[in-house]
Amino acid sequence: MDIASFIGMVSGIILIVVSILLNGSLSTYVDLPSVMITVGGTIASTLISYPLKEVLNSFKVMKYIFFNKPLDNNEVIRQIVELANTARKDGLLALEDMAGSLDDPFLKKGILLVVDGTDPDLIRNIMETELDFLEDRHKQNQGIFETFATFAPAFGMIGTLIGLINMLKNLNDPSKVGPGMAVALITTFYGSLMAYLIFMPMARKLSYLTKGEILQKELMLEGILSIQSGENPRIIEEKLNAFLSPNVRSKYGSQKQRLREGDLNVSEK
């Protein structure tokens, strides 16, 4: 679960609601025609921009914004080093059995290509093509949320113009000017809220998650090719550590040291 997404979304809504209640009533900000113009118009324009299947799929992707498994690159490096040690001792064919226990389909596919004796350049081309399509699929979902964020303020403004026109028709009645102006501005409020509290942050979070996943897959690819070339497992480990930030790298070093100390304690017993 992504705590940051929950905190950001919930705290944003709570702060806005509390701010409204301190100086007025929530009922003042509820207007059905404004909802129809802003929400309906935004959805309609997005449906014109993308196929229905892709728009519906983007709503399914929303769950990953709030429920995503943290990427553990340290664990990936540990698995690759273990695979490298096995390949060095027992040969590349010994990796076939180990591949069955791998959870990540990308890493599993790469190891099986190595076991099959596929040319290194071909492995790189196959895996990089898969990476490109993965990135394209993710960018398409991001693009849909960015489209929502682009159209929402625009339709908020359209709703405001409609409200202003209706208000100007009643200028001869001063008692209707104030309420009419308030209703006219509600659509802009709705559009801005949808764009900058919901859809744009979601697009940014998906972009962040995509970059992290692509980095992990590139790390895997480098490890797979290093195993195939028969490099020393310790060299592979150092090479893959370069993908990690200094902070994560130090945590990995501390974790590895604790594991070594644990193995020494077990051997002494």
What are the pLDDT digits (tens) for 92-136? 888 988 888 888 899 999 999 999 988 999 999 999 999 999 999
pLDDT at 70: 80
Q: Which two tokens stand for residue 80?
A: 């690759």
Give 170 or 92, the one with higher predicted confidence: 92
pTM of the predicted model as reported, rounded to 2 decimal places: 0.81
CA-derived radius of gyration, the chain: 27
pLDDT band (50, 70, 90) for residue 248: low
pLDDT at 252: 52
- Range 207-213 average pLDDT: 91
Question: DSSP string spanning 148-196?
Answer: HHHHHHHHHHHHHHHHHHHHHTTTT-HHHHHHHHHHHHHHHHHHHHIII
pLDDT at 267: 42
Which segment of 2-16, 34-48, 72-86, 234-248 scores lowest on mean pLDDT?
A: 234-248
The SS3 call for residue 119 is coil
> Can you give the length of the chain in residues?
269
pLDDT at 264: 39
pLDDT band (50, 70, 90) for residue 26: confident
On average, the pLDDT of the chain sits at: 86
Q: How many percent of the chain have pLDDT more than 70?
A: 91
pLDDT at 15: 92
pLDDT at 244: 80
